[in-house]
Amino acid sequence: MEKDKQIFDIIAREDARQHMGMELIASENFVSHQVLEAMGSCLTNKYAEGYPGKRYYGGCQVVDEAETIAIERVKKLFGAAWANVQPHSGAQANMAVFMACLKPGDKFMGLNLSQGGHLSHGSPVNFSGLVFDAVEYNVDPETGLVDYDKMEETALRERPRLIIGGASAYSREWDYARMRAIADRVGAIFMVDMAHPAGLIAAGLLDNPLKYAHIVTSTTHKTLRGPRGGIILMGEDFDNPWGKTTPKGQLKTMSALLDSAVFPGTQGGPLENVIAAKAVAFGEALQPSFKTYQQQVLVNARALAKALKDKGYKIVSGGTDNHCVLLDLRENFPELTGKQAERALVEADITANKNMVPYDTRSPFQTSGIRLGTPAITTRGADVIMMTVVADFIDEVLRNVDNHEAIASVREQVNAMMAPMPIFAD
C-alpha cells in the first residue's frame, strides 16, 4: 500500500513545529522514543475488555503481562495499594470516580474553573456539572491561594458527598491534610486530581496526595512525561461506603466499584498499546534521572516567575511551587487579552495558552491571563539562564503584539535557540 503522503506530511510539519518552537504549555511534554515506540506498536491491534486474567476475549495472555507491569510500576512510583491504568484520559478517570462514588444529582465540590479548576471538576458544560450538583470553592482574591476556611464553611453548609482537590492552573502546593479533615467533618469522599504536578509528586518534590485522599486520579502525559492517558490510584482500599452492589452483590470494596466504573461503566476496550507506553513511562519515572529532571522543572519555573516579576509582571499568587506560572496581564497591559497575547506568542513560535485569572471579568474565550509551564522546555535541556532569555522574549512579544517585524525577530531567535536542543529525553 502506498504511504499516506497527505497525513505523513502533516506529521512531518508538526514534528518541525515542535522541534523549532518553544513549548511553554504547562500541560504538555515530550515523551521518550521508547514511549512513542510502545504507543505505535502492534498492541494497538488487540481487544482486551476486562482486566488481566479476566478478559472477554481470547489471546490476551501477552497484553495481560504489559498491563500488570504498568499497574505494579505505578503502584511503586506513588506508593499506591491499588491502581487502574485503563482510563483513556484524565477526564475519563474522573468520570469513573464520579460513577463509583456518586448518584446522578449528588452534590460535590471542586475548585472554580475560572480560578484554576478543571472542566471535569464541575463545569456546567461538562458531565460533572451536567449530571451532578457542583458546588465550588475559590481562591482568596488578594493572595490567589485556595481559601480553606471558606471551603470548610461551604462544605459544612452544602454537605457534598465528594470533595476534589487539584487544578489545571494553580501554581501552589495544596493543603491535602486540611482538605481531608474537611471531608471527614462532612462525611465526604476526598479525591485529588494530581494530573498537573504528578511528575513532581512521583519525584518526591511535592507532597503526595495518596497519604491523605481516598482516591487519586491523574493524567500520564503532563509532568509525568508519558503517553496521553489517565490513571486512578488509592493509597489503601476501603469498604464500599454506599452499599452499592450489582445484582450479585459482589462490589464490596471501592477498588471493585472503581474497576467496574472504568469498564464496563464508562469505557470499552482498553488501549493496550497506550497502557504499555504508560508502563514504559512509569519505568522511566522510577529512574534517578527522573528526579533530576523534575528538580530542574521546579528550578526553571521559579526562575521564569522571578525573571517576569523582575520585569514588573504580575504573577498570580506571587510565584510558584510547581511547574506552572500564571501571568495576570491586567496590571501591565489592561487592554491586552490573553487571546491576543497567545496569538502574538504563537507568531513568535512560543506556544502558551490564554487562561482565566482569579476573578477575571473577561470570558474564557478572551481571558486576562497567560499560563506558562516548564516541563516540556526542561525535557529539551533548558536551564535557569535560558529562563531569563525566555522572559525577555515573552516581554518583547507582549510589548509588540501588533508589530510583526519585532515578533519575526523574536521568532528567529527562538528558532536559533531551539534548533540544536534535542526533543527526545532518551
148-187: which residues touch ligand DSN (CB under 6 A)? Answer: 168
Q: How far apart are CA 191 and CA 194, in angstroms?
A: 9
Provide, rounded to whole angstroms, the least separation between the CB of residue 168 and ligand DSN.
4
Per-residue interface string for the shown chain with ligand DSN, residues 27-46, x marking contact by CB under 6 A: x-------------------
Grid coordinates belonging to 140 = 482568596
Give the shortest CB-408-to-ligand DSN separation in angstroms: 28
378 among known catalytic residues:
no
> CB–CB of 347/411 below 8 Å?
yes
Q: CA 12, 13, 17, 20: dihedral to nearest 10 degrees?
A: 70
CB of 118 to ligand DSN, least distance (A): 6
Known catalytic residue at 244: no
Does 219 qualify as catalytic in the annotation? yes
Give the DSSP letter of residue 381.
Answer: T
Angle 96-98-100 from CA coordinates, rounded to 5°? 70
Residues 93-132: x where in contact with ligand DSN by CB under 6 A, - otherwise, as a string: -------------------------x--------------
Residue 229 Cβ vs ligand DSN, minimum distance, rounded to whole Å: 12
Is 49 in the active site? yes
- Confirm if 322 and 171 have CB atoms less than 8 A apart: yes
Cis peptide before 264 (omega within 30 of 0): yes
193 classed as catalytic: yes
Q: Which of 76, 178, 228, 314 is catalytic?
A: 228
To the query of whether residue 253 is one of the catalytic residues in this protein, the response is: no
Nearer to ligand DSN, 300 or 355 (CB): 355
Would you say 186 and 153 are in contact if contact means Cβ atoms under 8 Å apart? no
Q: Given candidates 90, 110, 160, 165, which one binds ligand DSN under the rule CB under 6 A? A: 90
Nearer Cβ to ligand DSN (46/118): 118
Which 8-state DSSP code applies to residue 163? E
Q: Give the nearest distance from C-beta 371 to ligand DSN in angstroms.
A: 8
User: How many residues sit in the footprint of ligand DSN (CB under 6 A)?
Assistant: 4
Beta strand ranges found along 180-284 (DSSP E)? 189-193, 215-219, 230-234
Q: Which of 217, 219, 266, 379 is catalytic?
A: 219
Q: Are 336 and 398 in contact (CB under 8 A)?
A: yes
75, 222, 225, 380: the active-site residue: 222
Whichever of 297 and 410 has its CB closer to ligand DSN, that residue is 297
Q: String of b and e for 56-82 (b: at least 16 CB within 10 Å)?
A: eeeebeebbebbbbbbebbbebbebeb
The residue assigned the cell 518583547 is: 396
Q: Which residues are catalytic?
A: 47, 49, 193, 219, 222, 228
| Positions in the binding site for ligand DSN (CB under 6 A) | 27, 90, 118, 168
